[in-house]
Amino acid sequence: MRIPILKLHHYLLVSIQTEIDDHIAIQFQEDLLNQIHKSGATGVVIDLTSVEMIDSFIAKVLGDVVTMSDLMGAKVVLTGIQPAVAVTLIDLGIEMKSVSTALNLEQGLIKLHQELGD
């Protein structure tokens, strides 16, 4: 199983609609980085609305995805973060200081557009 990654203009959109296990998380990381490289995307919106809980490994992978995307020139906006996910990220010390967030996918796209000015 793979998490779908959609391209919209210069952005990539990801809506995680399933439980994430370690294998899916690693596959998503590889797929997203490859898509950024192939498409030249300048921004990524990752919608976590359907993700109710994450474990420490998934939290680390998510933090790594944000950092790696930034290194490749793509700004990441996380949307729809559930309270339990936010608590887990903070409890585990996952650094997300430079990451923008929004309540939903639409607001995430607006924020990305404002921050990138394209």
- For residue 18, what are its two tokens? 């399933």
Measure the CA–CA gap between 80 and 46, rounded to whole angstroms.
Answer: 9
Q: Return the H-helix or E-strand segment holding 107.
A: helix 105-116
Q: What is the CB neighbour count within 10 angstroms for residue 110?
A: 14
Mean pLDDT of the chain: 93
pLDDT band at 18 (very low <50, low <70, confident <90, very high): confident
pLDDT in tens, 86-106: 999 889 888 777 789 999 999
pLDDT in tens, 27-84: 999 999 999 999 999 999 999 999 999 999 999 999 999 999 999 999 999 999 999 9
Mean pLDDT across 13-34: 95
pLDDT at 3: 95
Measure the CA–CA gap between 52 and 42, rounded to whole angstroms.
Answer: 28
Domains detected in the chain: 5-116 (3.30.750.24)
Q: Do the strands 43-47 and 11-15 form a parallel or antiparallel pair, or are they unpaired?
A: parallel
pLDDT at 95: 76
